[in-house]
């Protein structure tokens, strides 16, 4: 291998932050929506969104080289499957995630070196508060965050419901269930199913309205509370999606032990997370792990690390189910 190949790879890796910044620019300006009716020149788009045409062209040109757009002759651009996901009107649009994550992470990432040296959370050092407290300061941030995570979650929901065998479960508890998408999909799978969503009181109040509107109140309870104190709900299985990765091992064990206290022998706990793969393997899980390092005390984990958490909380590990998404379902059960 010549010296130019590893050097070129390093240049692209080091300059990758510029790609992220350009992606943020087009997401914030809603550029993809300007192409929803067909091809346009970057000058036309610039006039619509009221920005400098030359600067916008250069941003779009770079992103087209990565497949975000297609650049044709005379600075004409068109959508690709990637930019389709950046349209606000697209199902599960990824646009809010790009905007929210960029605006929160770009400042926090400057503290990553100090965080690695000192072992602290860079976001908390930069903003002086927990990221969840920071979000709650602004209703606009909360709304953007909720839409952002929908862009991550919606492909997972169908994938989990299709891949994991829920036929053995009569009543499912979604712990930290948010909008209730998984439980709603689970209930739709069979008329005899029932469930409960357990989340923070303010979230529970919102999702309760949705459950009522969907006519599911007879089969779905909604309970507010704090899973660090107790999980006072009964079910055949307890489902947690993107919950444990927010917290350190001790905090995760507390949550799982509270579930174990509520559960009966034979009940299952289902952990849907982005699992970290082995050494030297390109891996979305390793990327999200650095995201966790920036914002929270948590981390993305390997299957073995989740097995150890389950066992520390009194559960027995029983397997993992891959899905056609970035998450897998790690399963444990409470021994008799």
**285, part of any domain:** yes
Which pLDDT score is estimated for 47?
98
Domain boundary among 29, 61, 89: 89
Same domain? For 182 and 287 the reply is: yes
40, 153, 179, 245: the active-site residue: 245
Do residues 261 and 192 both lie within one domain? yes
What are the strands of the beta sheet with 194-199, ordered from one edge? 220-224, 194-199, 171-175, 237-241, 268-273, 328-333, 316-322
CA angle 309, 310, 315 (to 5 degrees): 155
Q: Is residue 66 part of a domain?
A: yes
198 and 293 both lie in a single domain = yes
Examine residue 94 and state whether it is found in any structural domain, yes or no.
no
- CATH number, domain of 77, equals 1.10.10.10
245 is catalytic: yes
Looking at the structure of the chain, the number of domains it has is 2
DSSP states along 157-182: HHHHHHHS-GGG-SEEEEET-TT-HH
User: Cα–Cα distance between 224 and 199 in angstroms, integer?
Assistant: 5
Asked if 156 and 284 sit in the same domain, the reply is: yes
What is residue 154's predicted lDDT score, i.e. its pLDDT?
A: 82
Contacts of 32 (CB under 8 A, 6+ apart): 26, 79, 83, 84, 86, 87, 95
Residues 268 and 161 grouped into a single domain: yes
Residues 299 and 167 in one domain: yes
Task: Report how far apart, in Å, the C-alpha atoms of 215 and of each of 95, 117, 212, 219, 221 are.
Answer: 31, 52, 5, 9, 12
In a domain, 271, yes or no: yes
Shared-domain flag, residues 163 and 310: yes
H/E segment holding residue 76: strand 76-79
Are 213 and 293 part of one and the same domain? yes
Separation CA 52–CA 212 (nearest Å): 48
Examine residue 95 and state whether it is found in any structural domain, yes or no.
no
pTM for this structure? 0.92
Range of the domain at 78: 4-89
Within this chain, do residues 45 and 149 fall inside the same structural domain, yes or no?
Answer: no
Quick check: is 128 in a domain?
no
In a domain, residue 217? The reply is yes
Domain boundary (89, 105, 125) is at 89
What is residue 149's predicted lDDT score, i.e. its pLDDT?
Answer: 83
pLDDT tens digits in sequence order for the chain, 336 residues long: 567 789 999 999 999 999 999 999 999 999 999 999 999 999 999 999 999 999 999 999 999 999 999 999 999 999 999 999 999 988 889 999 999 999 999 989 999 999 999 999 999 999 999 998 998 898 898 888 888 888 878 889 999 999 999 999 999 999 998 889 999 999 999 999 999 999 999 999 999 999 999 999 999 999 999 999 999 999 999 999 999 999 999 999 999 999 999 999 999 999 999 999 999 998 999 999 999 999 999 999 999 999 999 999 999 999 999 999 999 999 999 998
Domain boundary among 72, 89, 106: 89
Let me know whether 158 and 55 are in one domain: no
| CATH number of the domain to which 219 belongs | 3.40.50.150
186/290 same-domain check: yes
Assess whether 158 and 299 both reside in one domain.
yes
Rounded CA gap, 7 and 11, in Å? Answer: 6
pLDDT at 1: 58
């Amino acid at each position: 291998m010549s010296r130019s190949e590893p050097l070129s790879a390093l240049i692209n890796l080091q300059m990758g932050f510029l790609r992220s910044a350009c992606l943020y620019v087009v997401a914030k300006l809603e550029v993809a929506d300007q192409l929803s009716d067909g091809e346009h020149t970057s000058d036309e788009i610039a006039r619509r969104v009221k920005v400098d045409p030359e600067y916008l062209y250069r941003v779009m040109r770079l992103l087209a080289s990565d497949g975000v757009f297609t650049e044709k002759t005379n600075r004409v651009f068109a959508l690709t499957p990637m930019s389709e996901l950046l349209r606000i009107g697209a199902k599960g649009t990824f646009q809010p995630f790009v905007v929210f994550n960029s605006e929160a992470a770009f400042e926090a990432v400057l503290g990553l070196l100090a965080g690695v040296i000192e072992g602290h959370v860079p976001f908390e050092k930069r903003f002086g508060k927990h990221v969840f407290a920071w979000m709650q300061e602004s209703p606009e941030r909360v709304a953007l965050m909720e839409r952002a995570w929908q862009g991550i979650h919606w492909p997972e929901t169908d994938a989990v419901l299709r891949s994991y065998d829920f036929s053995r479960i009569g009543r499912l508890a979604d712990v930290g269930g948010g909008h209730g998408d998984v439980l709603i999909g689970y209930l739709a799978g069979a008329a005899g199913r029932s469930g409960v969503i357990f989340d923070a009181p303010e979230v529970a109040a919102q999702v309760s309205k949705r459950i009522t509107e969907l006519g599911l109140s007879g089969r779905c309870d909604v309970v507010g509370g704090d899973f660090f104190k107790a999980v006072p709900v009964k079910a055949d299985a307890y489902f947690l999606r993107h919950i444990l990765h927010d917290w350190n091992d001790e905090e995760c064990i507390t949550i799982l032990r509270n579930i174990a206290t509520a559960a009966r022998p034979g009940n299952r706990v289902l952990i849907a997370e982005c699992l970290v793969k082995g050494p030297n393997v390109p891996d979305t899980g390793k990327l999200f792990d650095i995201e966790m390092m920036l914002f929270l005390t948590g981390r993305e984990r390997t299957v073995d690390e989740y097995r150890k958490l389950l066992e520390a909380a009194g559960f027995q590990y029983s397997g993992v189910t891959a899905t056609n998404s970035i998450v897998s379902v790690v399963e444990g059960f409470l021994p008799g």
